[in-house]
Chain A
Amino acid sequence: MQANNRYEAERLVEEYADMIYRLALIRTKSPHDAEDIMQEVFLRYLKAHPVFESSEHEKAWLIRVTVNRANSFLSSAWNRRTLPFDEAVLGELPEEEDGSAVLNAVASLPLAMRTAIHLHYFEQMTVKEISSAMGKSESAVKSLLFRGRQCLKELLEP
């Protein structure tokens, strides 16, 4: 690989490592699976070297690949016993207000729901973008977001 790739990789890691890691984490609920997925997504990018019209396209591609990768992890490791999400993720973080409650609440939602919630509220993606990333219809995504919000309200607001 040439020097170009080094810069390309640096830019990619700089811009997208956290995004991919967080999405993989909220889907798999396991830091080490998330780490693996991140590595595979990057390797895939560097090998395939797709060309994009814009940075939005690039981001959409990475998100779709991450969702897809996390899918095949889940299907194989779906019932592997893992740490409770908060122990695994927050064990490493300083304790602060109610961050762990809201993370746990989102993590406790069904897979598609928490993915949609994460992409909408954290990655600020539109319903249309989410529908293409998740391979679901726009109305299905709307319903996931609506039901997700309802569930979170019940979980978090006494």
Chain B
Amino acid sequence: MMERYQKAMGRIHAPADTKKKLLGSAARPRRSRAAKLLPVAACLLVLVASCAVWVLTETGASLLPVGSSYDEIYDTWYAQREDRLSILGGGGIAGEGDGDTYGDTTIMGGVSSSPSFDYSASDPKDYYETHSQTEGVKESDRQKTNGKFLWRIDGKTLYTYRLAGEDSELVSDLPLPEEAGFGSEMFLLEGRLAVITRCYKVPGLRFKAYTRVYLYDLDAATGIPVLAEVFTQSGYYQDSRILGDTLYIVTDHNGYVGVPEEGEEIPPETYIPTVGKGATERALKPEEIYLTRDIPMGRVGLWFSVVSAIDLKGKEILSARAILGSSYTLYASTENLYLFAHADGTKTKVFRFAMAGEDTALTGSCQVKGTLLNQFAADEQDGCLRLATSVSRSIWIHEEHFSGQFNCVYVLDEDLQIRGALEKIQPEERIYSVRFSGDLCYLVTFQQIDPLFAIDLSDPSEPKILSELKVTGFSSYLYEYGEGLLLGFGVEGTENGSLTGQKLSMFDASDPEAVTEITSLKVSDDWGILYDHKKLMISEEQGLIGIPLDGYQLYTYDREAKEFVLLGHYELLGNDVRGLYAGKYCYVTSTMGLIAIDLESYEVVAEIDLTV
């Protein structure tokens, strides 16, 4: 067995071009253009930046400088990279905090007006829709349904099932085009399916990642997808949202070109991000790239975070924008898309893009301490952005390792200025789940036992802890299960902190000053952390909780008896098991097929095995 591992691992090698880059960074022959510019880079940057500001104020687009030329973009990055290298030389790499300042805040214009979509008009649906953090903003999933059909994407195949209880059938298994790479997420929008894929090209030695959107029209009678358009965006796929008819897609593009030889020119297309529709592909224009002054250099490379807006009805790219630097997570309200990027000293840079109309412009940026766990660590209410972060500091001195942790909650106003903050919550632990709910923030941290904090944000300038409940294990996902109830999914543990399995918990949060655990139930002996909350199906209206563990388990919460009740436990082959309900049935799919469960008898009434 271990020989097989040695053999398989032995076939993996560090990418050749990265090795080349490493040699480049050691030898450091200055590239001609940069070399000439460097001695005056600082003065030039100031000059250029002020020109750019002027230009943009003129056009009214935004006040954060964008590039005036590709050279300027490269040189901005290059100059900051030099700073970065000197930081690297100065001892520890990450984690040394630098005082208690909040960092800078940059504001460009006001918050844009909200788009006029009517979210209330939708009919009550009798089928499951992927849970959206923000009402009215759609999120992607591995499978989608309209109640009649179920579409599921597995790597290179797009499956269509017709949903009809015991008569359910596989309608088509459409292979994605060869160049598509792998797909694992999609959106459903009124008769259209947008499948997102990740693919890698290796032109010469350069490894390049692309994200593609395959837009399919769906045949109303058969549900069969017909390819209508393809969009391409360079970079590793990060996340996406749909607001109205517009798909917002964020990728991280690595344009690192190494340090060129003396006299060597670097063509911009080797490092500038690209977007494209069909067979056409274009590099972002300099004026579409924001010259972030303090580049989030969580990484060494020449990274760009690219945000494009695609009109799925008109099948057009509405806008494409990028910031210098990579981002690590995002959050979308119905007005703004926020990108969060690592900044030095375990800080996070926040970039706010307005999601309105034809353009996706940057409208502000700021910096806070710590790192966001995931999308749920951010929330916007009444123009205020609320964030929960964990600060983890880690430093090596000689051979000794020192580390420290604490957590913070911030309330930022419309100008992204800090209105209120709670810092140093539960030192030595870090956040495992967060949920904002109106004026409240629920926070779970963990080291040995799990305190669940309820934090009152009703006065944005003065957040305060209302209660702290300690239970064993921890919740890695929190869900508001109707009035006053909070559902937690997480890991069960003992009082000394060892982990023993996974559990469902129900908390009574009707009195935020005294949150209590009503009940909990161990659902698996295997422990692991739920990274993708979309694997769970939680429907309070239907009273269903679906968990893809040890096959598929269907639970309900009995409000009278105040306990979880197992409705059925089903065996299922294959990976990436997901469930959803439609009408009187629950359909559970995996890479190997589908089962249909009658929601009255909880018996399996149909089984489709893709392997036969």
- In angstroms, Cα B11 to Cα A46, docked, is 27
- In angstroms, Cα B413 to Cα A27, docked, is 39
Distance (whole angstroms) from the CB of A113 to the closest CB of chain B = 12
Contact A156 B1 (CB under 8 A): yes
- In angstroms, Cα B184 to Cα A12, docked, is 38
Contact A36 B22 (CB under 8 A): no
Contact A122 B26 (CB under 8 A): no
Contact B239 A8 (CB under 8 A): no
Task: Tell me the B81-121 residues at the A interface (CB within 8 Å).
Answer: 85, 88-89, 93-95
Contact A18 B13 (CB under 8 A): yes
A25 within 8 A of B: yes
Identify which of B4, B95, B202 contacts A102 (C-beta below 8 A): B4
**Top 4 nearest A-B pairs by Cβ distance?**
A9-B26, A99-B8, A47-B89, A21-B14
B518 within 8 A of A: no
- In angstroms, Cα B23 to Cα A13, docked, is 8
- Given A71-B394, A72-B95, 8 more pairs with CB closer than 8 A: A43-B88, A44-B93, A79-B531, A89-B12, A106-B5, A117-B5, A122-B6, A153-B1
A/B pair count, beta carbons within 8 Å:
151
Q: A69-B93, A75-B392, A99-B4 are in contact. Are A6 and B26 (CB under 8 A)?
A: yes
Contact residues of A with B, CB < 8 Å? 1, 5-6, 8-10, 12-13, 17-18, 20-22, 25-26, 31-32, 35-36, 38-40, 42-44, 46-48, 65, 68-69, 71-72, 75-81, 83-84, 87, 89, 91-93, 96, 98-100, 102-103, 106, 110, 117-118, 121-122, 135, 152-153, 156-157
Residue of B nearest to A83 (CB): B198
Residue of B nearest to A7 (CB): B26
Q: A8-B26, A47-B88 are in contact. Are A102 and B5 (CB under 8 A)?
A: yes
Residue of B nearest to A49 (CB): B89
B2 within 8 A of A: yes
User: Can you report 15 residue pairs joining A to B where beta carbons are below 8 Å apart?
Assistant: A9-B23, A9-B25, A21-B15, A31-B15, A35-B15, A39-B25, A40-B88, A43-B25, A47-B85, A76-B298, A79-B529, A83-B198, A99-B8, A103-B8, A110-B528
- In angstroms, Cα B25 to Cα A1, docked, is 10
- In angstroms, Cα B401 to Cα A151, docked, is 30
Contact B19 A81 (CB under 8 A): no
Contact B9 A103 (CB under 8 A): yes
- In angstroms, Cα B396 to Cα A19, docked, is 22
- In angstroms, Cα B10 to Cα A117, docked, is 15
Of B5, B6, B94, B182, the most chain A CB neighbours within 10 A belong to B5
- In angstroms, Cα B89 to Cα A67, docked, is 19
- In angstroms, Cα B395 to Cα A65, docked, is 11
